[in-house]
Structure 1
Amino acid sequence: MINKNEEKSIKEALDRICSHKLFVNSSTNINLLKYLVEKAIAQEEINEITIGSELYGIDYSENKNNSTVRSYLYKLRNKLADYYKEAGTNESLLFNISKGQCNLNFLSPTEYYKSQGEKSESLSIPIKYLKISAGVLLLSMLSFLLVKTIVDKPNFIWEAYFDTNSENLLIVSDQFVVGEKFPDGKERAVLYSEVKNNSDFINYSQKHPEKSLHLTDYTVMSKMAPYTVNVLSNWFATNKSRFHLKLESKLNYDDARTHNTLFVGQYKTMNLSQSLFLKDSKVFSTFGDGFKYHNGDTEKVYNTRFGGIQKVEYAMVSYYPLGDGKNALYFVSNNDIGVMATVRNFTDKKWLNEFSSQLPKEAKYFNALFEVSGLQRTDISCKLVELEVLK
């Protein structure tokens, strides 16, 4: 049983951790840590499903193998280890989450470092050799870091997403599926452009009482979904970062507020993202099967068009701030190839550097419209046709 003095010490230690620079900008880590500490003080046994259901509202009936909690625990465990390496000498009570476990324990420094398999050893070195070695090592490290920084520094578009403390979310567009019973007595899956969420379904059902409709328990995605998820997964892994995945139909405002977001998909299937996409644009809007550019007396319409065996379509890449230091990067086209082509290019270092060279030096955020074309969808080209610099 934890007494009041022990509980006070625990909460003081928790406050110090949450206000430290490693945690202060990561609401996900803070919320999970506070939850685990609260359960540990109450001496409640918890598991992955308990945490997912109570803290994140995850419905495990949809996906029993949902790995969200495991991912969050892994990141929190590493973050605590980093904190104790940096500030652990001042702590008399340490928080520990053993690998493969969900419950948090309160340990003394001796118990904690023993559980980590760490040993403290001392070594005597003559001071003159220590100075020489330190000088050589410092110069070597500085040279290495300088070269590595120049070579490995991510393009400004991806910088926020590849930061060590970043919380990233990939949103994939999907389409609601409605079940409808037809006069022949058979039920079929139907896609209605007017129905993008539960609220749309209710409104549509009320407008069409003559139809026998019900919601299905699944949505559909086009072929761009697996392609772009695979490309972006490899891109993030190469840059030692990661993202969480969510369908547009399950998106809420807290997701956008607490993450750097990426969106891949069609405008016509957007739900909540409609209110965010192109929200800061002064010249672009969606129009028909493409986009409209209106700047002063100049107005241009960019719609999908066909010509012989070649199809030309348009894709918008929008990069803008969300607030609280979070950014959004949208890859949007009403056709798969437009999304796939822009994602492919923006994950290619050489192409990305060439694109960045076309931007004004002061540019940080932008809306860029691309014309995507190719003979029978092979040898695809992706050409910048309009650009709006936001700031």
Structure 2
Amino acid sequence: MAPLATAQPERIRSWKVPIALTIFTALFAILLLAAPREGVTTFRLSTPTDAIQLPELAVPVMATAWVCVVLLVLLTVASVFFVRAFARSPLWIVIVYILAIVVGFLTWAAAGAAIPVAGLLAGSLGLAVPLIYGALGGVIGERAGVVNIAIEGQLLAGAFTAAVVASATRQPILGLLAAMVAGTLVAFILAAFAIKYLVEQVIVGVVLNVLVIGLTSFLYSQVLQPNGATLNSPPRFDRMPIPLLADIPVIGPVLFNQTIIVYLMYIAVAAVYVGMFHTRWGLRLRAVGEHPQAADTVGIKVNATRFWNVLLAGAIAGLGGTVFTIGNGIAFNKEMTAGAGFIALAAVIFGQWDPIKATLAALLFGFASSLQNTLSIVGSPVPSEFMLMLPYVVTIFVVAGVVGRSRAPAADGKPYIKE
């Protein structure tokens, strides 16, 4: 008797990455054909204060841009090869592709001008820091099963409180701690209504954002403006260069000559990632967000776990709000976060609820915003309206074509009622 044939799993090809790379390559080639630019673009790799001075890199515009197009085509073909073999496109293909198209676009856009590479990267990191803090808070909250629409309110509350406390005490570290408390208080209201009283989480988050915007705007008009010298003139954290690391060419001054807020961000990203995927805390956190009934069965207190993790998420987001005031020594102003909380929430979704991927998504937003500022300074022909929407357009295309479909934690946004 012949043995029964075992069913083989169906092998599926995913053409998302090759299609996305093909579209970007075609658009860039069309741009070069439609609007050729002559001259030389200079990449300024060092600043006058760097310990190690690198020579400027001057490249011919069109020749360099077309070399980048050829490289993009080769990477696209390589991606097609892997997909045809029923394999996923390696991550290195996507990384090299992004670097190549960025270099090509910068060379074309800044023809005849010099691009300060270190300044571009530093600006990208500076703009991304509050988004990263907000995204980390969003990842923790949603992994626990609570939709945190209130990131915007937590960032704004942190910025306001940090400015007032640091101005009154002249101690920015106290402002930082006060910002964490403010973010925690906003998160406490969210957790109480969403977990204890089972109110729709999205509605609570929206109401909290409006509440914080209204409250801080009122206090700014009635309290801070009349007493600006004492309550709204925050000191800033000094930069603390890390010996040796800060002297590394290009990336050293960007990454290792920063304030304590940025260094805490490095620690927070690493701690959240390791804790979420390699500790008992992270296992319990993910359990209550994926299958709360099963977590309850093995003795995990679902609602208590959610409650405390939402508070932790609020403290991290509140810390991110300090970037807007004491992080840069800027006085508080109405709605100064300007929607950063919603961008951080988008980074959570685009990053597939993973702390590292959400951080990279936030850096993408920061880079696109910094690129907009840099190109406007060097006199690029790219319309300013296009540059304003560039972060969102790039992120949508990258996520839809390269990252793929995002799946939220199974119990995200669903209150748990113990039967």
Does TM-score exceed 0.5, indicating one fold? no
Give the TM-score category using the shorter length: under 0.3
Higher relative contact order (CA 8 A, sep 6+): 2
Q: So what's the TM-score if we normalise by structure 1?
A: 0.20
Structure richer in helix, relative to its length: 2
